[in-house]
Every structure is written in C-alpha cells, then in structure tokens.
Chain A
Amino acid sequence: MKKIKQSQFYGIGILLLLVVAFWGIFKFLAPATFGSPDKLLTYAKSALIYAVGGCGLYFICVMGPFDFSVGANIVLSSIIACNFSMRFGYVGLVVAPLICGALIGLCNGLVYIKLHISSLIVTVGLSLIYEALSVYATNGKNVILSTSYRAFGDYPANLILALFAYCLCGFILKYTKIGTYTYAIGSNEVVAKNMGVNVPKYKVIAFALAGFFFGIQSILTISFGTSMTSASNLSSMSRNFTPLMGTFFGLAFKKYGHPVIAIVIGEMIIQLMFNGFVALGAPTTIQNVVTGAALLIIVTLTTKPVKGVVVK
C-alpha cells in the first residue's frame, strides 16, 4: 500500500476517481440536464481555459508570492487580442495578448521586486491601472471578436492551444533551470540565494511567465466568449478565482510529481461542480458555498497533511 501511495500516479488516480464520483453524483441527481457526452465536452471546454491560467499562477504561488491581477490581465489582454485581430487577423489575435500578458506579468514582477512590498498589495494596486487601461482601450464599450477569428473558441483548435500551454508549463518545470529554481526559492529562499540563485530575477521571470500563460488564456477566453467588456473598480477580481482553484490542486498534488495534470483535472472537477449545481437549479450563493467547501474538503482529504506540520 505504501508503494502504491508513493507512486507518481497515485495522485492522478485519486483525481480521476473524484471526476467520476462528481459526475456520478450529479448525473444521479439530474439525469436529464447533466453529464451527457456533449455536455461533458462543454464542461471540458471551460476547464481547459481556466487550467491554462492555473498553470501560469502555479509559477508564482509555488514560490510563495501571489497574483491578484489575473482577471485584469485577462480582460486587458482579451481586449487587445480583439482589437489587434481586426488589423492583423489571427496573428494579431495570438501574438498581441501573449505580449500584453507577458508585459503585465513583467511589470508586476518588477514592481514587486523593486518596491519590496507584498505581492498581494502590488498586484491589487496594479489591477486598478490595468482595468483603467481596459476602459481606455474600449472607450468603455463592449468589444466583439469577429466571427472570422473564433477558431480557438471550439475544438480542436482550443484543445491544441491548451495542450501546447500545458506541455510548455510541464516542460519548463521539469526541464529548465527556471523550474528547478522556482521550487528552490519556494522551499527556502535564503538557501537558494546562497546557492547562487538570483532570487529577484527568477521571481520576475515567474511573474512574466505567468503573464504569458494568462495571455494564452485570454486568446481562449475571447474566442470562447466572443466578447469582452472593460473592467473597473476591481470587478475583474472575480476572474481570479477559477484559475486559482486549479493552482490549489497543482500545489496540493505536486508531491506526486505531476502538478500540471492535477491543475487540469482539478479544473474539470470544479466545472463538474459548477455545472452540476446549475443543472440542479441551485441558487448561485448555494453553489458558491458548496463549491468552496468541496474544494477545501478535497484538498484536505487527498493531501493528508502530516499532523503538526506548519502550513503557511
């Protein structure tokens, strides 16, 4: 049993079992409105978008800081994607949000490093600026993606782009110095620094990389939703939490060695819950309460933290 638990596939096995369990429960409760193969593909379509953002956020959270500007980044990058697609077609749709997202991430990282203040305060403060820029870029109006450029809103292009993002994330974590240093800084920043790791540089890289992944999420978001409204007064914050839930799964299951897979399956579990409650006709408040509680229960039970261990 101990050997099975130590297996790198143990964590994935648990997550897949949870997918089946949640599907089974909601299918039983709402057989007509939930969980048909077509509907599952729709849930997966949403899950794969949020999982891309979850991958980006993972680089930051595993080091210790946090990014509350995910939503603002996605809003601004999606608007930029939409605007540039009108001029440059698919090239504009893809390249512009990647650059925009990465630049926002870079800006977050640089301000965080230079000001020496909490990442939470930095990214909330900068979110207000990014939101203001989104209003400026749209004149406060809704932008709509042309029907000619919506391929990434549906299968197979969305899946290909998302798979590219997941593979890129896994590759960076496992096969580059950035991945090793990300974990090293997250484990003990002082020791990492003593080992010659340029901690500020790699923190900035993590923010920029996260921004790049939010750029990819923006392509998928605007293509799937087809329109985007500018944000103000931190209304973009609501977009932070779904990618963050995936990141939680990644962090909780990283000990099994496959955080990216955990993020993707974790987002699928979240989508099953959201859509399950919709199928049951539950009020939004109840959906949020149950989803939040379920997330905490799943992560607590599956990770089985050692008693007495210090969790920050």
Chain B
Amino acid sequence: MGELLLKADSIDKHFGITHALDHVSLTFNKGEIHALIGENGSGKSTITNCLTGIYKKDSGTFTLDGTVIEPKNQVDANHLGAAIIVQEIGTLSGLTVAENIFLGNEDMFISHGIKNASAMNRKAQQYLNEYGFDHIDAARSIDDYNFEDRKLVEIVKATYFNPKVLVVDETTTALGQKGREELFKVMHRMKGMGSCVIFISHDLDEVIELSDSISVLRDGVYIGSIDKADATVDILKKMMVGREIGDNYYRTDYGEAISDEVVISAKNISVPGQLDDVSLELHKGEILGIGGLSECGMHEIGKALFGASYFRKGSVTLADGTSIDSIPDAISHSMAYASKDRDNESLVINDTICENICLPSLEELKKGGFLFGSAMKAFANKFARQMSTKMTGVDQFVSALSGGNKQKVVLARWIGKDSDLIILDSPTRGIDVKVKADIYAMMDNMRKNGKSIIMISEEIMELIGMADRILIMKDGKINGEFQRSESLSDMDLIEKMI
C-alpha cells in the first residue's frame, strides 16, 4: 500500500437537477496509476474536472499532499499540483505550439510586460525534444499540426512541470498506436517519480494492464475499489453496471447467408492524401466492418459514401443507379451517417435533445406546412427513450450529456428517420459496456430488419464480433477482406493493418 497523496472527501456536484456526484470519497496513493471507471454519466470526468478547476464542486474537499486545494481554473490547479489531459482537443488555434504549452504561465517569460517569445520557443522546444516529440516545432502555429500531434502537445503542456496528480481522461481513444505508446511512457514516468496518474478509460483490458488499482463510480456514487491483482474484466463490468454482463454482447450467429442485393456501390473512390482508388459494395441486411490503423483512411470512407467528402473522385451509386454526391442526396435517399467526431460533426451541441433528434425529420413532422412543438417532443421522446438515453427530458441541452448519451441521441435521430443505410464511424468510441451492448443490440436488430450498416471501427474485437464482412485498410487502400467466421482472430486482421 503506497503513501496517501490525494484524498477526495465527500465531493458533491449538481448540474441543474442532475446529481452528478453524490458525496464521493476516494483516496489516491503516491507512485500509482489509479484507474477510474464507470458507465457514461457515472461521474468520472466530473470529479476529475472538479479536482482540476474545470468545474466548481458544490461541497467536499480535495486534500493533496496534506493541503486542502480549491483550484479556480486549470492553471491554478497546475500550480497546486494537479493537471489534466482531456478527451477532446484542448489546444487553441491561432497560437503557436509554445504559446499553447505555456498558456496561463507566460509570466515566466515576461519582463516589464514584454514577452520573450524566443525564450518561450526555446524552452518549449527543449521540452518537446525531451519527450521525443522533436518533429513538432515550438515556434510554429498549432494549426499546422494534426489532431494526434496536438494531443502530444497537450501531454507536454500537462506534464512538463511534473504535477503530483495527472488525470488522463479518455485520451487514448483520440490517439493512434504511436500516440498511445508515448502517453503510456509519460504515465509510467510520472508514476516512477512518485506522482499519481488518475486514468479514465472504457477499455477495461487497457485499464487492467496499466493500472495498479481501480475505483468504480456508478450514477455519481462511489461503488468500490479493487487492486489490479484481483481485477478481471467481468468483475469490473459487474461493479460498473450493477449486474452480470457477459462477453456475449456481440452477435452469436455465424454462417447466415447475405442477400445478393447490392444497396450501395462505390467505385474507384479517391480523396487526395486519404483514399486511393477504393471500391466496395454493401448488401441488403449486411453489416460491413471497415477497420485499420487510425490514419489508414477508413474514417474518410464514411464521409465519401455519405457525400460529405469535398475532394472525392470516383462514384458512389445506389441500387437504382442514383448517384450520391452530396449530403442532401444521401439523406433524401434514406442514408444516415454518425461521425467519429460527435461534438463537431454529428450534434448541434448547444441545442436540445429534441431539436437534435428531429433535425433530419422536420419534413415528415410537418402538419399542414407547420411544425408543432408537441409533435416534435413526442417524436424525440419516443426515440430517445427507445435508446434509453439518460436525460432529464428532451428539452435538456445535448452539451450537458455524457459521451455515451450524446451518441444515443445521434443514433435516436437516425432511427427516428428510419434510414435504410447507416454509416456508423466509431459508434462505441468512449462508451461504456452497457451502452455498447445496447448499440450492438440495436445494430443487430436493424440488420435483421433488412437495414444495411457500415461500421467503421478501430476496435478489432468489435469488427470481428459484429460484422458480416470486414475490409481492412492500409495507406488509403483496401488491404484485406474477411468473411464472418468463428475462427477469425484479431491477429488475422492485424496482419493486414500493419
């Protein structure tokens, strides 16, 4: 048992009528990686956001190394010894890499009100080099770098001052393999220095592999903690959900014949720098899985098929020969698309659940040319409840929902639209096991009802477990095709990915 570093004592937090944290008490030790797990909306991010000054708690105390801390914001939390790497992008456009790293801490480079930009750049470059990220130029604009490199900058920003507590909040889902390895290196370095890493992840295998101890929250209540030695995926699932959840949430059928009817056909699709001469067909009632490494081009396929890729070459046609060249084309021909980037590309984040669900179905909801609030609410309510969305009501703003419930709103929208062809990009990204099981059941149900689904996923087991056919991509091309089979293993797919 390590020495106590951080004590969260009776932390309480409400968001309106939602009780996000119900007097949660937890302890974290020096020199450990302590995982915090739970379903979406269980309060994991809320408690760490309170710790790092992003949210203000209603009551309770955080005691770090014997001192009660009350951070006003993230930078204040940094000064008090706590830092966080958030799930979504946390760097600011328009600033240089160095300005992003030292944002809020510029004073160390300011003398008589004048900022020594070259000293700031030098220091930032020194840190980047020390972390092995020397391909990133501190003096350049952050906008010159991709999502993954920007995450690496965030890692440096959150850890260069060696915080006593580092929160890693669902960061791994945003990173490719290389980025994950770099993050894990930093986590282990922090642990070795006697700091505590609070690791939030829905990947239970990853959690067991990396963590020394694991604490579970459910519906804002602390459920319990468990040592790595005693943890199994089943035990953790049971603690998270409150009941047994087996591994059988994937499909169990094998050998079912797929219809010969092709519903959509893509021929010679190319998108400069992302897709190179890709052709594919999707059959009626089929789940077609598309996998690969993060930058292999698979995410662009979803956009290209949905008419949302602006630089697409090649053709996408439906069974009746209709060409799909724009998003309105796709929607009017019963196609649906849920992007990987939920907050920016799928949801109107500052609007209500009702407006989000009704958005593509407004024409159908019109009566005599007018839209009626009561009809819209009834429609949204029906499909939000069908997806078991955890909400106070359909008037609730989507921005206040957890990641999993946001995804449910996206899916409820397309179920409400009754689309025949659904493209799901990373449908279970950052989502807990219970919601995953719900989504898989929904997909299986849709398949049985003759709907066709394209599932783009970075999770190999999800592809093997759910797809009738799997295409593996590498460097913008299809590098392998697998039929659904009990004997199909993750190694078969990985071989074609790398």
Contacts and interface: CB of A to CB of B under 8 A. Distances in A.
B73 A195 contact: yes
Given A187-B93, A192-B92, A193-B73, 12 more contacts: A174-B117, A176-B110, A176-B115, A177-B110, A184-B92, A184-B95, A187-B95, A191-B90, A195-B104, A196-B73, A196-B104, A197-B103
18 contacts: A177-B110, A183-B94, A183-B95, A184-B99, A187-B94, A187-B95, A191-B90, A191-B92, A192-B103, A193-B73, A194-B54, A194-B73, A195-B73, A195-B74, A195-B103, A254-B94, A308-B308, A308-B310
Interface in A236-273: 254-255, 257
A139 interface: no
A174 B95 CA distance: 10
Contacts of A257: 141
A238 B75 CA distance: 44
Contacts of B369: none
A196 B74 contact: yes
B117 A184 contact: no
Contacts of B74: 194-196
Contacts of B117: 174-175
Interface in A124-174: 174
A192 B90 CA distance: 10
A180 interface: yes
Interface in B63-116: 72-76, 90, 92-95, 99, 103-104, 106-107, 110, 113-115
A180 B143 contact: no
A255 B143 CA distance: 9
B141 A180 contact: no
User: Nearest 9 pairs between A and B by C-beta?
Assistant: A196-B75, A307-B310, A183-B94, A196-B104, A187-B92, A195-B104, A187-B93, A196-B73, A194-B74
B38 interface: no
B75 A180 contact: no
B374 to A, nearest CB: 32
A197 B95 contact: no
Residue of A187, A193, A194 ringed by the most chain B CB atoms within 10 A: A194
A180 B76 contact: no
Contacts of A192: 92, 103
Interface string A170-213: 00001111011001101110011111110000000000000000
Residue of B92, B106, B115, B141 ringed by the most chain A CB atoms within 10 A: B92
A308 B300 CA distance: 14
Residue of B54, B95, B117 ringed by the most chain A CB atoms within 10 A: B95
Interface of B: 53-54, 72-76, 90, 92-95, 99, 103-104, 106-107, 110, 113-115, 117, 141, 143-144, 308, 310-311
Given A184-B95, A195-B103, A176 B113 contact: yes
Given A195-B75, A195-B104, A196-B72, A175 B115 contact: yes
B122 to A, nearest CB: 15
A282 B94 CA distance: 40
Contacts of A254: 94
Contact of A180 (B53, B93, B115, B310): B115
A191 B150 CA distance: 15
B106 A180 contact: yes
B11 to A, nearest CB: 19
Contact of B114 (A62, A175, A308): A175
Residue of A175, A191, A195, A197 ringed by the most chain B CB atoms within 10 A: A195
Contacts of A183: 92, 94-95, 99
Contacts of B310: 307-308
A196 B105 CA distance: 9
Contacts of B110: 176-177
B104 A197 contact: yes
A180 B72 contact: no
A172 to B, nearest CB: 10
Contacts of A175: 114-115, 117
Contacts of A188: 92-93
A196 B75 CA distance: 6
Nearest to B140: A6
Contacts of B93: 187-188
Contacts of A191: 90, 92
Given A194-B53, A195-B75, A196-B74, A186 B90 contact: no
B49 to A, nearest CB: 9
Contacts of B90: 191
